Amino acid sequence: MNLNLTDKIIIVTGGAKGIGEGIVHALAAEGAIPVIIGRSEEDNLKVVEAIKDKGLKVDHVVAELTRPEECKEAVQIVTERYGRIDGVVNNAGVNDGVGLENGDYESFMASLHKSVVHYYLIAHYALPALKISKGAILNITSKTADTGQGNTSGYAASNGARNALTREWAVELLKYGIRVNAVVVAECWTPLYESWISTLPNPAEKRLEIESKIPLGNRMTTTEEIANTVIFLLSDRSSHTTGQLIYVDGGYVHLDRAINPL
């Protein structure tokens, strides 16, 4: 299926690693021009070079998204460079373990800046261009907003906000024809996930325990599976879909985890 994304300019925050990297590769494969916004030029360029080696288009802007002024500058650079923005993927964030018992005001506020404040800022600064293109916004969010996790108040609050903003923006932007949706991630195998699980006793055993609770296939979701849903929701093939939270999680959140499919 042609998703009609050829030469569309799509911002992807945190597009140099994990889920963001998968989204960038999928967009480039569809003929879009994904523009990574990330803090590390080295990491950004690794992805850029890998995609350009395939003869595909991609670009990047270096920015520290926890700094509001850099969010504004990054979007300005993309707008000036291409004269348009056709879509925004808000993806960057970190499950940083700022809990209620072990946190404080400063660390909680810092956590919100890492995982949700820049979602608002990037969308806000990109909005004038999105109004012209009638583009789309896609927010990556996490199951922690639904299930809780423990010891991650900042990240859980950020994801609850991401979900709420998805529906709020979908309503506010109806008049411009801008669609806003979210993809909710549960257990997806990424370098960050691998780093986390490696800190636990018996990481291989722990992974099997987690996978046993994922109803569809008893396996982790792949970054490619997340990316495939994202690019569909960005495309005009999903032209009447807005304000939706789409769970790409093998049934982890909503299906009975005791199910043992035959």
**Number of structural domains, the chain?**
2
With CA atoms as reference, report the closest residue to 183 among 86, 91, 88.
91
- Is 261 contained in some domain? no
- Is 2 contained in some domain? no
Q: Could you tell me if 68 and 80 lie in one domain?
A: yes
Tens-digit pLDDT profile for residues 88-102: 999 999 999 999 999
Which residues neighbour 168 within 8 Å (Cβ) at sequence distance 6 or greater? none
- Is 255 contained in some domain? no
- 99 token code pair: 């809990």
Burial (CB count within 10 angstroms: exposed 0-12, middle 13-18, buried 19+), residue 27: buried
Q: What is the pLDDT of residue 261?
A: 57
Q: Could you tell me if 164 and 208 lie in one domain?
A: no
CATH number at residue 239: 3.40.50.720
Tens-digit pLDDT profile for residues 217-262: 999 999 999 999 999 999 999 999 999 999 999 999 999 877 665 5
Q: Could you tell me if 199 and 215 lie in one domain?
A: yes
> In terms of DSSP bridges, do strands 33-38 and 87-90 run parallel, antiparallel, or are they unpaired?
unpaired
Spatial distance between the Cα atoms of 89 and 28, rounded to a whole number of angstroms: 14
Spatial distance between the Cα atoms of 135 and 85, rounded to a whole number of angstroms: 7
Q: Could you tell me if 168 and 212 lie in one domain?
A: no
Q: Could you tell me if 38 and 146 lie in one domain?
A: yes
- Is 154 contained in some domain? yes
**Domain range for 191:** 187-220
Q: Could you tell me if 199 and 147 lie in one domain?
A: no
Whole-number Cα distances in Å, 188 to 62, 103, 185, 192:
26, 26, 7, 10
Q: Could you tell me if 139 and 192 lie in one domain?
A: no
Q: Could you tell me if 109 and 231 lie in one domain?
A: yes
- Counting as low any pLDDT under 50, the low residues of the chain are none
Residues assigned a catalytic role: 155
Task: Identify whether the C-beta of residue 58 lies closer than 8 Å to the C-beta of residue 34.
Answer: yes
Q: Could you tell me if 145 and 106 lie in one domain?
A: yes
Task: Identify whether the C-beta of residue 145 lies closer than 8 Å to the C-beta of residue 93.
Answer: no
Which one-letter amino acid corresponds to residue 44?
A: N
Q: Could you tell me if 81 and 120 lie in one domain?
A: yes
CA trace torsion 33, 77, 73, 97 (10° rounding): 20
- Is 3 contained in some domain? no
Give CA 109 to chain center in angstroms. 20
- Is 82 contained in some domain? yes
Task: Identify whether the C-beta of residue 181 lies closer than 8 Å to the C-beta of residue 233.
Answer: yes
- Is 251 contained in some domain? no
Q: Could you tell me if 182 and 97 lie in one domain?
A: yes
Q: Could you tell me if 136 and 202 lie in one domain?
A: no
